[in-house]
Amino acid sequence: MSKCGKVDHRQPSISKPDTGVGVHVGAPVVGATVATNANPYVPCEPMTGIATLGSISFLPSRGLYLAVFQGPDHDHPNGRIAYAWSRDMQHWGPSHTLLDKPDMTSKNCSDTYRYGYPSLLDPDAGGRNFDVIGSAPLLFMTRFHVGKCGLPPNRDLVWMQLDVK
């Protein structure tokens, strides 16, 4: 039997998203239910509302896992880059939009760019496999230059620094 705690997922505050400056991931405080003390031998439940998982990182200062992913939802039919928190990687809180940008699932032919493969890395956090992050990780993504309504081989590796509170 797992105990449940309360976590509040604040909306991220984003300014100048293409410059790599000013993206803030909301701090987990008090609000939505996230399970704790789960049996480690119970199979993981699938993360709902996720089209493509980019990465899962551990934030030691909070004792939480942070997943970043891409995919559409009812408010973002052309896709988005989003995140969710977990205490045990089995039970996940609700997803929150980090960047309202079209992702690889978009069918909108007027897109100039689409984004995919979001991953958090923090070279200063000391994780052996880049699986640990501090309060200022880097979000890396592939930016696709849309051509003829598709994803041609013209791509850029882009990044921005996050402020995880």
Buried b (16+ CB within 10 A) or exposed e, 132-164: ebbeebbbbbbbbebeeeebeeeeeeeebebeb
- Is pLDDT above 80 for 16? no
151 three-state secondary structure? coil
The pLDDT tens digits for 36-77 are 455 556 666 666 656 689 999 999 999 999 999 998 888 899
Q: 43 and 69 in contact (C-beta within 8 Å)?
A: no
Taking alpha carbons only, the member of 27, 29, 43 closest to residue 135 is 27
- Is pLDDT above 90 for 162? yes
CA 126 to chain centre: 20
Cα torsion at 122, 124, 128, 130 (round to 10°)?
Answer: 0
In the prediction, which pLDDT does 127 show? 80
Q: 152 and 145 in contact (C-beta within 8 Å)?
A: yes
In the prediction, which pLDDT does 49 show? 58
d(CA 122, CA 138): 6
Reported as a pLDDT band with limits 50, 70 and 90, residue 165 is confident
Dihedral of alpha carbons 133, 12, 150, 19, sign: negative
Provide the whole-model pTM.
0.71
- Is pLDDT above 80 for 143? yes
Task: Write down how long the chain is.
Answer: 165
